[in-house]
Amino acid sequence: MQFMDRRLLRYGFIISFLLIACLLPLRGESAQPNRHAVLIDPAHGGEDAGVVADKLREKDLTLNLALKVREESQNGENLLVRLTRSTDRAMSIAERIKMAGDLHPECLISLHVNAGFGKQAGGYEVYFPGFRQNASREEGSTPVLRDMAKNRSLNESVRLAQAIQAALEAVFPRKGRGLRDAPSPLLSGVTIPGLVVEVGFATNPEERKSLTGEETQRAVARALVKGLREYFLKTP
């Protein structure tokens, strides 16, 4: 009987050790800080070059910025940045919307470059989806619930826009053209906070030269990351 007790005790010790060894990786994983998933959308791509002015092509600039945003986001632990495209390839609006649905990010920022209004027009703009485009004309409870979700995301979009605007102001002092309420085919297809950010005017020679420079692109990327961190810091 004494021999059996010792053997059971030994087996119990071995089983306990194995259980602890198995649980340690799980505890380590759960201790990792939570990261906020963000989807950055470099507009255009492939055959769709977007705005073209001199040597600047919108599709190239938006991709460069998106890659730098992802890189800058790694200098910290609370952001997980994914891109709708990481190479020069064509993507439809439907494909971008589907990616947002598959990845379940907490917010979406679509990067663009502006053009027009003469060579003197300049500055950055931040658009959030238009509230007037949100109301559904369908009947029943499902569209009502969908509209409620959209309204929540629209309110958060405004808060995100304010955070991004404040961060970009440090890069382009007094160059902000205000927050704009306007519909967007991409943002209307998702139910998460989303923005369109026009980083400057390609048709403005001074801004075009600045935007094609590494220093400005890096500063814009850092500002976008800072704005995202500020937004999540104050998220209820």
Residue range 193-197: average pLDDT? Answer: 97
Q: Are residues 108 and 21 in the same domain?
A: no
Q: Are residues 28 and 44 in the same domain?
A: no
**Long-range contacts of residues 152-157, Cβ cutoff 8 Å, at least 24 apart:** 153/190, 153/191, 153/192, 153/193, 153/194, 154/128, 154/129, 154/193, 156/107, 156/193, 156/235, 157/107, 157/128, 157/129, 157/187, 157/193, 157/194, 157/195
Q: Are residues 6 and 103 in the same domain?
A: no
According to the model, what pLDDT value does residue 228 have? 98
Find the Cα–Cα–Cα–Cα dihedral 91, 126, 79, 88, rounded to 10°.
20
- Angle subtended by helix axes 58-73 and 214-233, to nearest 10: 50
Residue range 166-189: average pLDDT? Answer: 94
Instruction: Fill in the amino acid letter for 89.
Output: R
Give yes or no for residue 52 having a pLDDT over 70. Answer: yes
Q: Are residues 154 and 45 in the same domain?
A: yes
According to the model, what pLDDT value does residue 235 have? 78
Give yes or no for residue 201 having a pLDDT over 90. Answer: yes
According to the model, what pLDDT value does residue 152 have? 82
Do residues 199 and 111 lie in contact, with contact meaning Cβ atoms separated by under 8 Å?
yes
Q: Are residues 225 and 114 in the same domain?
A: yes
Find the Cα–Cα–Cα–Cα dihedral 202, 207, 213, 217, rounded to 10°.
-80
Q: Are residues 107 and 139 in the same domain?
A: yes
Residue range 30-44: average pLDDT? Answer: 81
Domain count, the chain: 2
Residue range 121-128: average pLDDT? Answer: 96
Q: Are residues 137 and 204 in the same domain?
A: yes
pLDDT band at 131 (very low <50, low <70, confident <90, very high): low
Q: Are residues 14 and 45 in the same domain?
A: no
Return d(Cα 34, Cα 52) in angstroms, integer: 40
Q: Range of 25's domain?
A: 1-32
Return d(Cα 191, Cα 12) in angstroms, integer: 52
Give yes or no for residue 73 having a pLDDT over 60. Answer: yes
**To which H or E segment does residue 171 belong?**
none
CATH code for the domain of 69? 3.40.630.40
Return d(Cα 164, Cα 172) in angstroms, integer: 12
Q: Are residues 106 and 12 in the same domain?
A: no
Q: Are residues 125 and 28 in the same domain?
A: no
Q: Are residues 103 and 144 in the same domain?
A: yes
Q: Are residues 6 and 100 in the same domain?
A: no
